[in-house]
Amino acid sequence: MIRFSSIIALQILFMPIASAAPQTATKPVTDEYHGVKVVDEYRWLEEAGSPAVKAWTDAQNKHSRAWLDARAERVEIEAKLTALYAKDTPSHSGLVSRPGRPFALKFQPPKQQRLLVTLTSADDLASEKVVLDPNEIEPKGQVAMDWFVPSPDGKLIAVCLSEHGSEEGTLHFYRTENGEHLPDRIARVQYPTGGGSVAWTPDGKAVFYTRYPHKGERPDADLNFFQQIYFHKLGRPESDDKYSAGRDFPRIAEIDLDSSRDGRWLTATVANGDGGEYAHYVLDTKDGDGAKWRQITRFEDGVKRVAIGCDGATLYLRSVKDAPRGKILRMTLDASKTLADAEVLVPEGDGVMEGMTLTANYLFISELVGGPSRIQFVELSKKGAAGHLRTTKDATGADMTGIGQILALEDRPGDDRILFRQMSYTEPSACYIYDPAAKDDAEKVKKTALFNTSPVDFSDIEAVREFAISKDGTRVPVNILRRKGTKLDGNNPTLLYAYGGYGISMRPGFNFEHRLWFDRGGIYVVANIRGGGEYGEEWHLAGNLTKKQNVFDDFAACSKHLIARGYTRSEKLAVEGGSNGGLLMGAFLTQNPGLARAVVAHVGIYDMLRVELDPNGAFNVTEFGTVKDPAQFRALHAYSPFHSVKDGTKYPAVFFLAGETDGRVNPAHSRKMTARLQSATASENPILVRLSSSSGHGMGTALTEKIAQKADVLAFLFDQLGMSAK
């Protein structure tokens, strides 16, 4: 039971001294949880859109802008980043294959948003044709593609478009051949809370799609919950659309739709919020308008993903039941079969099984090995692994490469070729085609025309892998990018990054922006802490719910490891994270205020007692827990950054960044945490916040805004760590 005290009426006071942060009024509200009274002095900062909050935001943005713009190199940093992006080669991502026609999202600076393009093959860039350019819809980059799905023959494309980084999307349809925009529009198919999805019927004349309630269908508080599946025939008004499934799904359901290669079978993966529990359903479109969804797995079954074989008769399932690193099951789609009838095709091994990609005769499995990854392939006519393809080791013997998307090509019947993306910390990514039917081993793997080049050289940079020892003795991987010959004398400016949640893994990836960091003697580090999926489901579960403190202990251990090894010292150490990683930053700085000199936290969660009251926060209950449960409340309250700030503590320099249109994390978290730290800190270090009105959680943010944010972050870090240009 939560009880509110009377609110003290105070006015917002802003200090007239330009160098001081604006003062924030306190209006105490008392809540009671399981007999524990908790005072919140900044509840009023949750009132988005109120004149008082707008005035506070304007004052804080003005203060931060003045501080950042006073850094002599801020303008030069932005100019350098802009120049690098202008030299960057176009890149292709989100590839989808249809017969004779790959589709991709093309990032082509200085364009603000990605383009939707199609090619005749991954080896023929000259054949590329633009299907949709959101920059022509809105030249400032305020319209973005959330996702796209081509029809089975590739002649039509369903595209979800949203504005201002909101991820609140409407479904549109385009003809591939000429980019014609069809008249069909379907609103509320996508929202940050549960995402959105579409699957086509085999004839390409209709789609099954996800939809949130329309106003009046449910109470206003539930309009961004209760996602369901509907059916739409092209050319018909949305009012004619039919309900298909979902009335018995949880309030926090997140639905992902997919289809078999021949289009006959549809699958629906239903997530129970963000904690990693899934149920799966299949539908046979041959049953026509009377087709019904059949449930195959339940949340408690431990099945993470399903995929339908190219034979159209077999279902493959990735399960962690009694196999935390994963195993692959298979069963026929016969209506009489249940999960109990599934056989083990690939047992658990030393790698963590993630994605499954099926061709006519092979199953390709992407596997994680503590962060780096590889591909395992299996002949479907046999049980067990047939082998692995393509691994690259660095000088220390550690595998430091990563595998991105794996895509089955559909250019010909019985095609067993796949296209996969190879990634590393020190080289731009490239797409390769693997053909198991090639007679010569040298011909099995070929680089395609879909590769990136870099506007900067990383030949002087090496990636090494070490292990920190956490509080409970757990070995935590630390991936260190440094200049060759770096002296371990404790004087190197070092930036440590991590995430630690939802089973999401930090894998190798190239970022040319790091050149600005390396050029000033910086070291960049990525930690594979618990809460992620780098070592499987056990690694994830060891860092969620009441075990979340392990995540923060791991990160602190990585910081201490870098100091103990002589890479850096506290005065030269900075840390950075975003979203769940923003929560990590908040916990780190409140639990270890003297361990780092500077903290950068993007779109973070800081009030763990209030987060579940936000629409997307409710989806996080299966990952973080709920204040309604006494044990989970105690854990949440113990590490909640907002409630862990102590008056009179010398906190490091902190830079919060948030987006006003963020539907995933309420920007009120950043407002409240900023106010609390500014009031409490006893140090002279700046506590800054940047609240952007033109971005949300980061998805769909225009290029110029991304560059501006990065320039602000680098100006802040260079200043705080004393990193002068060399």
DSSP sequence for 533-598: STT-HHHHHTTSGGGTHHHHHHHHHHHHHHHHTTS--GGGEEEEEETHHHHHHHHHHHH-TTT-SE
Share of the chain above pLDDT 90, in %: 79
Q: List Cβ neighbours of 535 (8 Å cut-off, separation of 6 or more).
A: 325, 352, 368, 370
* pLDDT at residue 110, as a whole number: 87
CA distance linking residue 365 with residue 327, whole number of Å: 10
Q: Same structural domain for residues 332 and 228?
A: no
Order of all β-strands in the sheet with 327-332: 303-308, 314-319, 327-332, 343-346
CA distance linking residue 682 with residue 671, whole number of Å: 19
pLDDT digits (tens, 9 = 90+) for 213-255: 999 999 999 999 999 999 999 999 999 999 999 999 999 999 9
Q: Same structural domain for residues 585 and 599?
A: yes
CA distance linking residue 474 with residue 553, whole number of Å: 10
* pLDDT at residue 101, as a whole number: 87
CA distance linking residue 256 with residue 644, whole number of Å: 37
Q: Quick check: helix, strand or coil at residue 120?
A: coil
Compute and round to an integer the Cα radius of gyration of the chain.
Answer: 26
For residues 464 and 17, which has the higher predicted lDDT (pLDDT)?
A: 464
Question: How many helices (DSSP H) and strands (DSSP E) are in the chain?
Answer: 14, 38
CA distance linking residue 605 with residue 671, whole number of Å: 11
CA distance linking residue 451 with residue 226, whole number of Å: 41
Q: Same structural domain for residues 513 and 604?
A: yes
Other C-beta atoms closer than 10 Å to the C-beta of 722 total 11
Whether residue 393 lies inside any domain: the answer is: no
Q: Which of 678, 614, 623, 612 is nearest to 645 (CA)?
A: 678
Alpha helices in 385-532 (DSSP H): 441-444, 514-518
pLDDT digits (tens, 9 = 90+) for 355-393: 999 999 999 999 998 888 889 999 998 765 555 654 333
CA distance linking residue 396 with residue 5, whole number of Å: 60
Whether residue 29 lies inside any domain: the answer is: no
Task: State which residues form the domain around 119.
Answer: 92-254
Q: Which of 386, 334, 335, 340 is nearest to 359 (CA)?
A: 386
CA atoms within 13 A on the CB side of 629: 12
Whether residue 673 lies inside any domain: the answer is: yes
Q: Same structural domain for residues 186 and 277?
A: no
pLDDT digits (tens, 9 = 90+) for 422-438: 999 999 999 999 999 88
- First-residue to last-residue Cα distance in the chain: 59
Pick from 138-152, 405-419, 588-602: least confident: 405-419
Question: Are the CB atoms for 516 and 79 separated by under 8 Å?
Answer: no
Output phi, psi for 430, to 5 deg.
-150, 150
Average predicted confidence (pLDDT) for the chain = 91
Whether residue 584 lies inside any domain: the answer is: yes
Q: Same structural domain for residues 279 and 246?
A: no
Only one residue has tokens 């499987």, namely 536
Residue 630 has pLDDT above 80, yes or no: yes
* pLDDT at residue 198, as a whole number: 97
* pLDDT at residue 9, as a whole number: 33
Residue 55 has pLDDT above 60, yes or no: yes
Q: Same structural domain for residues 464 and 569?
A: yes
CA distance linking residue 163 with residue 150, whole number of Å: 22
Residue 328 DSSP symbol: E
Q: Same structural domain for residues 185 and 267?
A: no
pLDDT digits (tens, 9 = 90+) for 550-609: 999 999 999 999 999 999 999 999 999 999 999 999 999 999 999 999 999 999 999 999
pTM exceeds 0.85 for this model: yes
Pick from 14-18, 173-177, 464-468, 501-505: least confident: 14-18
CA distance linking residue 401 with residue 20, whole number of Å: 46
Q: What mean pLDDT do residues 64-76 have?
A: 96
Sign of CA dihedral 344, 350, 354, 360: negative
Helix (H) or strand (E) holding 81: helix 74-87
* pLDDT at residue 5, as a whole number: 33
CA distance linking residue 481 with residue 522, whole number of Å: 9
Whether residue 487 lies inside any domain: the answer is: yes
Torsion angle defined by CA atoms of residues 322, 327, 332 and 337, in that order, rounded to the nearest 10 degrees = 10
CA distance linking residue 535 with residue 557, whole number of Å: 18
CA angle 27, 30, 36 (to 5 degrees): 150
| DSSP-assigned states of every residue in 39-50 | EETTGGGG-TT-
CA distances (Å), origin 300, targets 266, 283, 635: 22, 21, 24
Question: Are the CB atoms for 424 and 392 separated by under 8 Å?
Answer: yes
Identity of the highest mean pLDDT range in 2-11, 334-343, 552-561:
552-561
The enclosing domain of 574 has a CATH number of 3.40.50.1820
Share of the chain above pLDDT 70, in %: 94
* pLDDT at residue 240, as a whole number: 95
Name the percent of the chain in helix, strand, coil, to the closest 5. Answer: 25, 35, 45
pLDDT band at 167 (very low <50, low <70, confident <90, very high): confident
Helix (H) or strand (E) holding 378: strand 373-379
CA angle 460, 514, 402 (to 5 degrees): 80
pLDDT digits (tens, 9 = 90+) for 82-111: 999 999 888 898 999 998 889 999 998 888
Q: Same structural domain for residues 241 and 269?
A: no
CA distance linking residue 222 with residue 724, whole number of Å: 51
Q: Same structural domain for residues 603 and 529?
A: yes
pLDDT band at 638 (very low <50, low <70, confident <90, very high): very high
Other C-beta atoms closer than 10 Å to the C-beta of 87 total 12
Pick from 140-144, 206-210, 444-448: least confident: 140-144
CA distance linking residue 656 with residue 252, whole number of Å: 28
The two tokens of residue 600 are 């950068």
Whether residue 436 lies inside any domain: the answer is: no
Alpha carbon of residue 322 to chain centroid: 27
pLDDT band at 394 (very low <50, low <70, confident <90, very high): very low
Q: Same structural domain for residues 478 and 614?
A: yes
Residue 16 has pLDDT above 60, yes or no: no
* pLDDT at residue 183, as a whole number: 96
* pLDDT at residue 8, as a whole number: 29
Helix (H) or strand (E) holding 388: strand 387-389
Residue 282 has pLDDT above 60, yes or no: yes
Q: How many domains does the chain have?
A: 3
Q: Same structural domain for residues 652 and 505?
A: yes
pLDDT digits (tens, 9 = 90+) for 640-686: 999 999 999 999 999 999 998 888 899 999 999 999 999 999 999 99
CA distance linking residue 640 with residue 569, whole number of Å: 27
* pLDDT at residue 694, as a whole number: 80
With b for 16 or more beta-carbon neighbours within 10 A and e for fewer, the 394-414 pattern comes to: beeebbbbbbbbbbbbbeeee
CA atoms within 13 A on the CB side of 649: 18
Residue 299 has pLDDT above 70, yes or no: yes
Question: Are the CB atoms for 569 and 491 separated by under 8 Å?
Answer: yes
Residue 115 has pLDDT above 50, yes or no: yes
Q: List Cβ neighbours of 175 (8 Å cut-off, separation of 6 or more).
A: 155, 156, 157, 182
CA distance linking residue 261 with residue 657, whole number of Å: 42
For residues 410 and 101, which has the higher predicted lDDT (pLDDT)?
A: 101
* pLDDT at residue 392, as a whole number: 38
Pick from 392-406, 415-429, 520-534: least confident: 392-406
CA distance linking residue 240 with residue 219, whole number of Å: 23
Residues forming beta bridges with residue 126, ordered by sequence position: none
* pLDDT at residue 2, as a whole number: 33
pLDDT band at 134 (very low <50, low <70, confident <90, very high): very high
Residue 128 DSSP symbol: -
Residue 195 has pLDDT above 60, yes or no: yes
Output phi, psi for 598, to 5 deg.
-145, 145
Q: Same structural domain for residues 244 and 288?
A: no
Whether residue 721 lies inside any domain: the answer is: no
Whether residue 40 lies inside any domain: the answer is: no
Q: What mean pLDDT do residues 119-145 have?
A: 90
Residue 396 has pLDDT above 50, yes or no: no
